[in-house]
Chain A
Amino acid sequence: MDEIKNELRTFLRGHLRHQEIQDDDDIFALGYISSLFAMQLVTFIESRFDIHVDGDDLDFENFRSINAIDGLVKRKRISAPV
């Protein structure tokens, strides 16, 4: 059940100088998100979880934390099952 969160945690840790991030940490407030990383994150989410992020999904609340991204992935999988 935590497969998505584990994958996200590993990705974020590998890309953010291996700092530990809690599931509800606000990654924007932590200052980790650059414009390039924001797109890298979208690319990772799409390829790893086989979903398509479109313009309607571009909401800061969808990317604010591991919990938020986990919720986005699950909603997308329900709306467009693979």
Chain B
Amino acid sequence: MHVELTEQQLARQQEFAAFVDREVAPFADGFDRAEAIAPELIEKLARAGYLALTLPVEYGGEAESMITYGLLHEQVGRGCSSVRSILTVHTMVAHAIARWGSAAQKKRLLPRLASGEMVAAFCLTEAHAGSDARNMEAVATKTPDGFRLSGHKKWITAGQIARLYLVLAQCDRQPCAFLVERDTPGLSIHPIAGMLGVRASMLADLVLRDCQVSEEMRVGPIGFGFSHVAGAALDLGRYSVACGCVGIAQACLDACERYVGHRRQFGVLIREHQLIQKMLTEAMVGTQAARLMCYRAGYLRDKRDAGAMLETAMAKYFASRMATKIAADAVQIHGANGCSADYPVQRYLRDAKIMEIIEGSTQVMETLIANIGLDSRPALENPGVGSGPQKPSDPSY
């Protein structure tokens, strides 16, 4: 067993880190204050190939591995979770189209998503359907020309800047996924401001009032919108969030390393204080453990192993909780400085907390991992597992 990156992966990791150090991290606090990212950053991400890292080459992608995709999201997460969130939802939609879209959808849309001509947003959550996403209220009604969509989607990352939306709605009480372009009559977009974290992720509420879309804009059959189309997107989103959380944790460690190396209290550098060392140790161990879980999830994803989805959920669960804990400790180590805008650790803490809520909250992950995990672990790894009562119905995601 080898738990190490290949030379090619190491080279790409360095490339991603250099890009983030040059184009993302220096501006992240400014993005946070402005509650917006710089528009030209999308172009830079596109030019670097990062909007389509795993897409097939024929659509403008690089057909890169999931390990490499995870390395990118760790590095971008280290620099700015808002940028990483926008990148995540964009690639979730691109991935859903590549996975389940028609040949015409792939040909028409994927190159535009790869080039950054279009930013995409994923529209599942509603005011009354967060974790309980299966009970969404958006409705798609069949018409002679296609479908008419009505509903209200909430907390949509990149909603302010997206030109393409993947919208989940009920069609005859069955979940279905549709692509809706920004200029569709009846679609209105309402920016959201003042969030706790990932403030620059350009959140928006979307209101769809009798939005007419053609049959060609449906992704996958009626009835498979949640389990397969949204399911594939959310699975990738969880992997991205998990890797991004490793990036947040690493950023906290980097900030603490700088701080404890010059901050003096009681006559010595604070790195000499054992209670500070305890927090630093927990942060280092937690970061490395989460990183290894992400590598394993990525490895299984590249193998197309059926256990990859569970391992991804476990990585997301662990990494998001770990990032919140490490970021809270990083603020503690920085004291009052850590609560000020002069240091980034307060942003890391606010951003990390969001990671415990998006793409399946910590509590949904706990339910999912317990209910599905016991059943899904390969028998070889879990001999004896199999008795017990029939599980209840699984949570929505």
Contacts and interface: CB of A to CB of B under 8 A. Distances in A.
Contacts of B227: 35, 38-39
Chain A: interface size category? 20 to 34
B376 interface: yes
B220 A37 contact: no
Given A36-B309, A55-B102, 10 more contacts: A11-B306, A17-B390, A35-B227, A36-B310, A38-B228, A39-B228, A39-B231, A40-B307, A43-B309, A55-B100
Greatest chain A CB density within 10 A among B227, B307, B372 is at B227
Contacts of A34: 371-372, 393-394
Interface of A: 11, 13-19, 31, 34-44, 46-47, 54-55, 58-60
A35 B221 contact: no
Given A43-B304, A43-B308, A37 B372 contact: yes
Contacts of A19: 386
B128 interface: no
13 contacts: A11-B306, A17-B387, A34-B371, A35-B396, A37-B372, A37-B394, A38-B228, A40-B307, A40-B310, A47-B304, A55-B219, A58-B228, A60-B223
Contact of B376 (A38, A40, A60): A40
Given A42-B228, A55-B102, A55-B221, A18 B386 contact: yes
In the A-B complex, list the 7 residue pairs whose CB atoms are closest, starting with the nearest.
Answer: A18-B386, A34-B394, A47-B304, A44-B306, A35-B227, A14-B379, A38-B227
A41 B310 CA distance: 12
Interface string B83-121: 000000000000000001110000000000000000000
Given A39-B235, A40-B376, A55-B100, A17 B220 contact: no
B375 A15 contact: yes
A11 B235 CA distance: 21
A46 B310 CA distance: 17
Interface of B: 100-102, 134, 219-221, 223-224, 226-228, 231-232, 235, 303-310, 313, 368, 371-372, 374-376, 378-379, 385-388, 390-391, 393-394, 396-397
B305 A54 contact: no
Contacts of A18: 379, 385-387
A8 to B, nearest CB: 12
Nearest to A11: B306
Contacts of B232: 39
A55 B106 CA distance: 12
Given A58-B220, A58-B228, A35 B397 contact: yes
A35 B393 CA distance: 10
Contacts of A13: 379
Nearest to A60: B223
Nearest to A35: B227
A44 B232 CA distance: 14
A41 B307 CA distance: 10
A47 B226 contact: no
B169 to A, nearest CB: 16
A11 B380 CA distance: 11
Contact of A17 (B306, B368, B375, B396): B375
Contacts of A40: 306-307, 309-310, 376
B386 A41 contact: no
